[in-house]
Amino acid sequence: MIASPDNSVRFAFIQRLYPGHQPRSFAEARGFVMNDYQGYLEDQWINELKAKYPVIIHEEILKSLWGSIKK
């Protein structure tokens, strides 16, 4: 239990400890593998979108909008 200056408290519940350098079973590693593959697919998709739809920024218009926001 850790108390902070604003009197809130945080708890941590450790469900399982993995000793160092011990391989996990497929069932235990499945979520990590799926997450990594999803990240890979997302990166590929974003790169395809960037190639197909290049982003063009008109600096003059951006500066004029930024100037109107500051006022």
* 11 inside domain: no
Host domain of residue 70: 25-71
Predicted confidence (pLDDT) per residue in 1-44, tens digit: 555 678 788 888 888 887 777 788 888 889 999 999 999 999 99
Per the model's pLDDT, the better-predicted residue between 8 and 52 turns out to be 52
Are the beta carbons of 29 and 18 closer than 8 angstroms?
Answer: no
| Distance (Å, whole) CA 18 – CA 55 | 45
* 15 inside domain: no
* 17 inside domain: no
- The pTM (predicted TM-score) of the whole model is 0.50
Residue ranges of the alpha helices (H) in 1-71?
26-52, 59-70
| Distance (Å, whole) CA 30 – CA 36 | 10
* 30 inside domain: yes
Number of domains the chain is built from? 1
* 35 inside domain: yes
Instruction: Look at the alpha carbons of 13, 19, 25, 30 in this order and tell me if their dihedral is positive or negative.
Output: positive
Identify the band that residue 71 occupies on the pLDDT scale cut at 50, 70 and 90: low
* 9 inside domain: no
* 34 inside domain: yes
